Amino acid sequence: MSTGCVAALEGRQAELPGKKQRRVRGAREATLLIAEMGSAGSMAVLVERRPAAGLWGGLWSPPQFESEFAALDWVRREVGEPESRSEALAPIHHAFTHFDLRLTPLRVRCRPTAAVHDGDDRLWYRLSDPPRVGLPQPIRRLFERLAAENGQALG
The per-residue pLDDT for range 107-137, each reduced to its tens digit, is 999 886 656 666 779 999 999 888 889 999 9
C-alpha to C-alpha distances, 45 to 10, 14, 88, 107, nearest whole angstrom: 67, 59, 15, 10
Asked whether residue 8 carries a pLDDT value surpassing 70, the answer given is yes
Residue 13 located in a structural domain: no
From first CA to last CA, the distance across the chain in angstroms is 67
Residue 14 located in a structural domain: no
pLDDT digits (tens, 9 = 90+) for 10-58: 777 777 777 777 777 889 999 999 999 887 778 899 999 999 998 889 9
Domain of residue 89 covers: 24-149
Instruction: Enter the pTM of the model.
Output: 0.78
Residue 155 located in a structural domain: no
CATH number of the domain enclosing 75: 3.90.79.10
Asked whether residue 67 carries a pLDDT value surpassing 80, the answer given is yes
Q: Provide the number of structural domains found in the chain.
A: 1
Residue 136 located in a structural domain: yes
Q: How many CB atoms lie within 10 A of CB 30?
A: 18
Cα 144 to Cα 13: distance, rounded to the nearest angstrom: 55
Cα 44 to Cα 112: distance, rounded to the nearest angstrom: 10
Q: Are strands 44-49 and 26-37 parallel, antiparallel or unpaired?
A: antiparallel
Residue 70 located in a structural domain: yes
Give the model's confidence band at 80: pLDDT under 50 very low, under 70 low, under 90 confident, else very high: confident
Residue 43 located in a structural domain: yes
Tell me, what's the pLDDT at 61?
96
Cα 30 to Cα 64: distance, rounded to the nearest angstrom: 6
Residue 19 located in a structural domain: no
Q: What is the DSSP letter of 103?
A: E
